[in-house]
Amino acid sequence: MRASQIIYLSLLCYMPLLRVKGDASADLASAEQAFFTWHEQQAPEYSTDAGSKAFNDRLADLSMGAFDADYFAVEGFINRTQAIDRSQLSRQQGYSYDIFLDTLTTFASNYQWRQFGALNPVNFMESFYLDLDYIIDIAPFDTKGDYENYIARLEARPKQINQIMDRMHEAIRLGTTYNLVSVLKVPGQIAEVINTPPVQSTLFKPFNETLDKLTLGQTDKDDMRARGLQGLRGVWTALNRLKTFISDDYSYHTRGTYGVGGLPSGGSFYRACLKWHLSLDTSPPQVHQLGMREVDRITHNMQKVMSRQAFQGTVAEYYTKLKADPQFHRSSADEILKDFRNLIFNRIYPKLPQLFKDIPDNKVVVKPLPYDGPYGMYSSGSDDGSRPGTFYVNLRRPNETSTFTMVSLTLHETVPGHHLQYVYQAAAKLPSFQRHIDYNKYYAVPYHFPFYTAYTEGWALYSEFLGEELGVYQDDYELMGRYGDEIFRACRLVVDTGMHYLGWTRQKAIEYISARTPMPQAEVEIEVDRYLTWPGQACAYKIGELKIKELRQRASSALGDKFDIRDFHSLLLNNGPVPLKVMETIVDDFISDQGGNAHSGGPIVG
């Protein structure tokens, strides 16, 4: 029996101790809630997204002073958390404590890197003006107060744009700027927004029909329209200044090397970014080696299929041939939607009970993506199930979609991937800070609160593998679709570390990926520019998947016949997003609980 079980039993017997347990438990819950509220106020758009109205009239403070203010606040939460006796907490609360402390210390321990990524808030993938629909979608427009909040935010935007330029000036002064590829498209992206007159912009939409429907005097409506338009004009002027600054100033001071390795202390900075994204201590050369091993293994799997089909050419030639084959094309968007639904509901769902139990009854829906974005993406619903989880599919170019890639994508985005992840998590009723992750400010990594991407994306990639165990891939073509997706995640380990740590050029990375994956050259270039902009981020998928497989192997060999894969999967899903270190603790506890011998294995990359 383990120490924590003894404590738990003794608590049931001795009333006086219950008070102590109650205190630790209540202290943790209130510290976590206080942090969540503080974080909402510090990141007002995150708060809006999480469904609160409290800070809807504000935007994030991107002043230089915010760096220190945030640090001191987080240090206070760390002190408060460390004063709680973890041994007095229940199992699940103990994990919550570990996640909480990891979230806080990951932020605070990277204070020294605040003058790197965090000084560069604008790039070709990140800025508020890139997704105007999102701003409108998350904000409520039901009352006069909602409109006043929205106007206040428009009026606050020019000040924030000035703060962004101040930061980028400082990055120039310190020599911690992006490579040019990260901002090359930015002036054009801004031009696209401000070349539309404010009154025709998406940001003005709420002032048209939506405002008309509100029961409010005409004078009030006219007044709000006028102030809204005035606010938008101010935003357009500020954006124009930002555009000029990027094209005439910042672009000339971008870093001379592709990767961050060329920055002062760049190697250590890259290690910090990698650790932040992987939630695991490992070294860039280890990740690089692991990537090459994975690429070889998957290539070998591909070659087995290709020789079964007596195909003589290269991997790239194989995929070119497959993509041109009419048998893998559908003529209309409707047929594609039908295929996806058939796949999810008739081919995958009926098989899930082989590997999962107590599956919450909350089914995913499939819809066309309303704009021309990625091929597929998942958006989680509301925790009460009133808004369902949605799998969006880009149907703009139905004739360019190949059906042999549908299976792995579906497993990844829906079940057992992101949708299953979300429904278990929603059912687990986790604390707010665990349920709502602030997926913003990728640029600020590692001086930022972690997203635990290695968990979320690692699980989704592991789900593509589970498709093999479930028998979902029904022929060699679908299997090749899976390998194509998988090898691409393995290549990321090689080229991300290659460019940021080992001095690879952009061209070398592009050639490496193009020779080994089905991806068209134009897409490979965008991918590589993404890796250059977000050091380490793309490595999280494969590392997370390998960690899950490693822990599964550890549990099944320690428990032998007693190992139930369905319990193991519940265990991983019921705790929501966790750092990989904590996932390891959770699995070791599970092994001990079931009477096995938990051993702390070495790191996955050894």
Ligand X SMILES: *[C@@H]1O[C@H](CO)[C@@H](O)[C@H](O)[C@H]1NC(C)=O
d(CA 488, CA 298): 10
Cβ contacts of residue 172 below 8 Å, gap of 6+?
249, 250, 253
CB-nearer residue toward ligand X: 72 or 371: 72
d(CA 51, CA 252): 41
Mark the segment that binds ligand X (CB under 6 A) among 114-122, 137-145, 204-212, 443-451.
204-212
Exactly one of 195, 200, 327, 600 binds ligand X (CB under 6 A); which one?
200
Please, are residues 437 and 425 in contact by the beta-carbon 8 Å criterion?
Answer: no
Question: Sheet containing 376-379: which strands, arranged edge to edge?
Answer: 365-368, 390-393, 376-379
Q: Is 92 in the site for ligand X (CB under 6 A)?
A: no
Mark the segment that binds ligand X (CB under 6 A) among 196-204, 402-410, 453-461, 541-549.
196-204
CB-nearer residue toward ligand X: 38 or 349: 38
CB-nearer residue toward ligand X: 35 or 459: 35
Q: Is 267 in the site for ligand X (CB under 6 A)?
A: no
CB-nearer residue toward ligand X: 151 or 494: 151
Q: Is 400 in the site for ligand X (CB under 6 A)?
A: yes
CB-nearer residue toward ligand X: 74 or 454: 74
CB-nearer residue toward ligand X: 323 or 351: 323
CB-nearer residue toward ligand X: 325 or 469: 325
* Cβ count near 347 (within 10 Å): 17
d(CA 462, CA 417): 8
CB of 326 to ligand X, least distance (A): 10
Please, are residues 122 and 186 in contact by the beta-carbon 8 Å criterion?
Answer: yes
CB-nearer residue toward ligand X: 197 or 353: 197
HSE toward the beta carbon, residue 532, CA cutoff 13 A: 32
Exactly one of 86, 91, 159, 205 binds ligand X (CB under 6 A); which one?
205
Please, are residues 349 and 359 in contact by the beta-carbon 8 Å criterion?
Answer: no
CB of 340 to ligand X, least distance (A): 19
CB-nearer residue toward ligand X: 216 or 571: 216
CB of 159 to ligand X, least distance (A): 24
Amino acid 491 reads C
Helix H or strand E encompassing 548:
helix 540-559
d(CA 509, CA 528): 7
CB of 201 to ligand X, least distance (A): 6
d(CA 440, CA 549): 29
Q: Is 399 in the site for ligand X (CB under 6 A)?
A: yes
Amino acid 55 reads F
- By CB under 6 A, the residues from 458 to 497 that bind ligand X are none
Exactly one of 33, 208, 244, 314 binds ligand X (CB under 6 A); which one?
208
Mark the segment that binds ligand X (CB under 6 A) among 201-209, 273-281, 539-547, 594-602.
201-209
What length does the chain have? 606
Exactly one of 150, 204, 340, 534 binds ligand X (CB under 6 A); which one?
204
Q: Is 320 in the site for ligand X (CB under 6 A)?
A: no
CB-nearer residue toward ligand X: 6 or 324: 324
CB of 74 to ligand X, least distance (A): 8
d(CA 306, CA 392): 32
CB-nearer residue toward ligand X: 91 or 225: 225
CB of 309 to ligand X, least distance (A): 23
d(CA 374, CA 393): 8
Q: Which long-range contacts (CB under 8 A, 24 or more apart) does 86-94 make?
A: 86/24, 87/3, 87/4, 87/7, 88/7, 88/20, 88/21, 88/23, 88/24, 88/25, 89/21, 89/24, 89/25, 89/28, 90/8, 90/25, 91/4, 91/589, 92/575, 93/25, 93/28, 94/4
Q: Is 332 in the site for ligand X (CB under 6 A)?
A: no
Interface mask (CB under 6 A) for ligand X, residues 44-83, using x and -? ----------------------------x--xx--x----
Amino acid 67 reads F
Q: Is 9 in the site for ligand X (CB under 6 A)?
A: no
d(CA 230, CA 224): 10
Q: Which of 124, 118, 255 is nearest to 187 (CA)?
A: 124
| Sign of the CA dihedral with 315 first, then 320, 325, and 327 last | positive
Contact residues toward ligand X (CB under 6 A) are: 72, 75-76, 79, 199-200, 204-205, 208, 399-400
